[in-house]
Structure 1
Amino acid sequence: MSLYIVVAIASVLLNIVLVGGFYALVIRKRRALHDLNTVLMQKEQELLREIDRNNNLFSRVITEVRPDVSVLSNKTETQKFKMVTVLFADIEGFTQIVDTMNPESLIDELDRFFLKFDAVVQHYNIEKIKTIGDAYMCAGGIPIKNRTNPVEVVLAALQMNAFMKDLQANKGQEVWSLRIGIDTGPVIAGTIGSLKPSYDIWGTTVNVASRMESSSDGGKINITGNTFLFVKEYFNCKYRGKMPVKNRGDIDMYFVEGIIPHFSHPTCLFLPNNAFVVQLQLLRLGDLEEFVLDMLEKGLPKNLYYHNLKHTVDVYTQVELIGKAEGLSDEELLLIRTAALLHDAGHLVDYDYHEEMGVKLAKEILPKYLYSSQQIEIISKTIMATKMPPKPQNLYERIICDADLDYLGRMDFLPVSNNLFKELQEHGRINSMADWNGMQVKFIEKHQYFTNTAQKLRNVNKNIQLEKIKSVIITGVT
């Protein structure tokens, strides 16, 4: 065989080998891509299932904890409330108005008044009970119990009165004068009637509020001594004597003259300024605290030995301590305390993404406690700052990060640390105590408190705890 033919055959064989190798490479790559796509699709499906699971869990949790749904749906049940503020209002001289005014115009005017009153009471989460002729009745603290209702009802009364006075000034009709009476105390509430069921309230508090209204003057707000005790820090009130009331004895009466100057709008004593709103929010925080802690106590999984109710209370307490020491304003303290209260609430839904779930819960719950969208945004970012590793960007975040890891420098470090180990082990995050101690040493050596207050309070003891863990690692004795 000639050399030329040999070379030609070799060349053909080489091309066959190269082409075969190329196609084999292509096939392997296609298989690899197919396997990668399969893995990605599986991961995507797992992620979608996890998102769906979390959304379902979130829906279940928020249905169980939403502070209005269960109560509002049970208005048919008779309930006793310990602290409700009842308001009665009517138009002074209404009988004369009826005799002199066109009926259609009269009804139009009443509708106008009552629509305004409805908007005011709705803004303050006050329950409208009924209207009878020119009389308007509402109550705060039902059907959802709260501790802010005396202040909110008096605020609503001031704004109702201001609206009527504006009408008088614009129309020159002195007859349109509102008379208001208010009392605070226990009531019984429930629904009456079968054809046209209506939510109503009964009790001595209702009767006394009615008496306060009939004993008031046109353009005045007459409150009882009970209500005065709850609102005296917010409003200027003028004592006007006692009134005998059946089953209650002599009752002190006060005229509300307006909001105290440092809580009132610069141009109007009937409108609250931001300082008043913040004080009211701080009072309302007590209701939120009660609601959230009850929600956590009933709903958190039992295998959260560290991220439990006690931890939330610890952080909630510590952010206030650090915040005051760091010079936070009242509003700033409100926001940081709210964030601390909700920072671990996401554990109700998901263990790994509890910060994100906590933000979702905050955005669902806080509007019902009249937090603004700007306040909720700050609170949400503060909650997310607790995600490990901590990288705080502002004072809010530095405070909550220090409060969240406050235990590192406390005397009860070891029992708290053991609870965290037990929790992580049960969730498959750590295998042995030896691994855990080694992890703790690395973490504490790198950890730093961010605020001057926490550094002064905890740094020394944190270093003592670090030496104890190192000793345990060396000697094997706890």
Structure 2
Amino acid sequence: MEKFINILIIQPEEIIRIGLKEILSGGGNNILMTHTLKNAIEIIKKKDIGIIILDIECTINEKNVINELKDKSKLRNNYVILISNRNTTNSKIYKGMKLGAVDYIPFPFNPNLIKSKIEVFKKLYYKDKRIGELLSNIFPETILNELSSGGKFSPKRVEKGIILFTDFVDFSQKAKSSKPLTLIQQLEKYFSKFDEIMLKYNLEKIKTIGDAYMALSGVTENKPKPAVRACLAAIEIRDFMRNEKDVAISLRRDFWEIRIGLHMGPLVAGIIGSTKYSFDVWGDTVNIASRAESVTKNGNISITKSIHEQIDQYFLTKPRGKIDLQKRGGSVEMFYLNSIKPEYSIYNEGFTPNSKLRITCGLESMDFDLMRNWILNQLKSLLPENMLYHDIPHTLNVENSAIRYGKLEGITKEEMYLIRTAALYHDAGFILKYNKNEDFAISMAKSTLPKFGYSDKQIKIISNCISVTKANIIPKTLLEQIMVDADYDYLGRPDYHIIVKKLRQELSDYGHKMSEKEWLKYQLYFLEKTHKYFTVSAKNLRNYGKSVRINDLKQKLKNLKSK
């Protein structure tokens, strides 16, 4: 699996910048260069920079420059390496290291020394990144930020925290009659789906207890309408499990059913443990939410009055009256949560929130996940079977490349959704015709994306990104450049020959048969005369590989001519 890192060189002298870039090019290194600290700060604000290589004189002439670079960075941890020269004294190096640098490289450069040092800090960067990802799965982002800044997290009390509980019906009986591995795989499948839904609606998963799943809203995140978002998540879980049940029944297989309960009230959140840390919440609210789940009919959702008062405007519910709370004592008024009101749902069907409700909840206006599932299903069912190159794997490959370049180029969250949407739609025109298919893909995007909450402005950006995949169109915006580079990312990858083999067969199936000589010339003309990469990232990461492909093809053509 390829790994990539942004490395920023801050050096006033051009000859040193270029020399250092030549040494470090390749190996997944996306080298960015600037000659001023002002430009460097603008780059660091926008892009994830893993390693900063800084001229040591900058740390002497500019006070606190390393701290400023780190403070303005998108990443929590950067590795700063200094460039020293013959005139650099040990005291200057010591001062730079004390200010936050981790190492230094002397000029004139020793290429092997520089490469080995950079590789060490690249490994540390990837390790830090992985640890960060693991920690974000354990603790909420707000807590991680507090821990990183202050070193501790104080218990937090909220008056209106929402607890969501799910539990599988008759799980103990299923555990007795199922093989352990099969049972665990099924649980993993369902809980993984629940995790996706929590992420989608900005809820925080707390823990799983056997077959029970517990999540939190309105405590760790800073989003409006926490009760509404929790109910949207509950409905999506319920509908997912209902679909699973329908499929299982049609296939005459055993099925699982679920119960869901929600309650809002006072909570205390905190971290417990001295060696093995855990984020958890406490309070009577947890007990009431658990009770709401346990007294629910199979395949349904129960909410308490405190939740109902917050969400009644947006959802259809059914009163249940007062329900006794066993062991705890007392009773709580409850309701069945049925569906979203038609005016707040896509297609007025009550299942999925429309853009109006999503914006009210502080979510992105578009439902990207629903759109993605829909367009991929369309491609799977409607693309011709002899589409060997422009197939589903190609579409997913382009989407993954767009994500990679988007991250390296520092685009926003919304822009990432838009470029991924363009990548998913860009070859949809092959459903209708082979040549000049981009216009149909654009038409398809314009007619279907509004149903998923995309605005006219967003659809125009997506349409422009699809349009630049036509031949001989020059991309103008960064997103358009990313789209074109993602579409042809494989030109600079080691799997180039495997991919173009499928392209040759596809062209042949559609009446464009070529001899071996014609095929080699066809590739060379495109690589040398027609194609070029546009983003800095693609140029850094793929131009060298592309040049290797060109040399390979030239040698093959030479060998063919000599026969």
Could you say which TM-score interval applies, normalised by the shorter chain?
A: 0.3 to 0.5
Q: Which has the higher helix share?
A: 1
Q: Could you tell me the TM-score, scaled by structure 1's length?
A: 0.48
Q: TM-score, normalised by structure 2?
A: 0.41
**Structure of larger gyration radius:** 1
